[in-house]
Amino acid sequence: MLLAGVLLALVGVVVHLAGATWIEKAMPPVVTGSIVALIGLNLAGAARGQWEASPWTALVTLTCVLVAMVAFKGFLGRIAVLVGALVGAVFAAIRGEWTTALDSLGGKSPVEFIGDAAWFGLPEFHTPTFDGSVLVAFIPVVLILIAENIGHLKSVTAMTGRNLDPETGRALFADGLATTVAGLGGGSGTTTYAENIGVMAATRVYSTLAYWAAAGVALVLSLVPKFGAMVAAIPGGILGGLSVLLFGLIAILGARIWVENKVDFTRPVNLVTAAVALIVGTADFTAHAGSMVFNGIALGSIAALAIFHGLGWVARLRGAEEVTPNIATVPEDL
């Protein structure tokens, strides 16, 4: 991941100095909207798994979040996600979910697991190792990170109404730098997180200062194993209720990008670009390259880019770009 981080940071520098016009051409709204939408849909399986861990707790959590978002104003409305999580935690306690022994926690109950965790601890660092075959396999990861980053940036643009294209280079550089630092310590690569974007959409809090503060608090809490145990021990139903909403909001942001940019889906190239990418991402197709595994988000992003530019070139060559596809329509009487 160290090499991937360095390459991504270099791409960020180039984009910042040379401008993001070439990226905008490479990733027009139909592509970015598809990538943003498939990110949310790809996470649907994870939301379902968490929901099924405790459906009633998930339902109570989700219901409280939705009611809080609509009924409360001001501060309470903005922390609707937290309100729902707290109510869900109380409901889970009433159902005894905090005292049930779980295999995922080593046969301990969440309360026991949290109690046994230390108050202070340092992460375990590892020096990076270099393997030529692995390094070659990681290079495509850079393209995936670029697509995912830009997709997330477009979704934030859609939420805030502020054009963030000029910040593309800085965003890519920051992600590359973070991945490089993580790689130096033996950590995994970093990226922007769809879950956080979902929280932004739900709370409507877009202040940069708020996220600086959140990052600082997160760094401090990362040195507290007891807090990590608390997060790991949260009953799955609570997370399931929150995930259904947050991941769904991300998918809707992708559709919003299409609508606001007036993407023309009567054009075959646009139609098939979105269609294939969404299925690949939603079904979470996987591909293997040695020890590397590429999931539906990565493959869906690649599919969107390859189909749009590949078929777009063919359409321009044959002058068939504006031909409407032969797709069965719903009868008018229905």
Q: Which residues pair with 68 in a beta bridge?
A: none
Q: Does residue 248 or residue 105 have the better pLDDT?
A: 248
Per-residue pLDDT tens for 185-214? Answer: 666 667 676 667 777 777 777 777 888 888
Better-predicted residue by pLDDT, 261 or 213? 213
| Of 163, 190, 136, 143, the residue nearest 26 (C-alpha) | 143
Distance separating alpha carbons of residues 181 and 1, to the nearest angstrom: 10
Instruction: Tell me which of 92-96, 103-107, 239-243 is least confident.
Output: 103-107
CA 173, 5, 205, 36 dihedral sign is positive
Global pTM reads 0.69
Q: Look at residues 324, 70, 90, 116 and name the one whose alpha carbon lies nearest to residue 232.
A: 116
Q: Which of 224, 233, 223, 221 is nearest to 113 (CA)?
A: 233
Q: Which of 1, 45, 29, 42 is nearest to 300 (CA)?
A: 42
Strand, coil or helix: what is 132?
helix
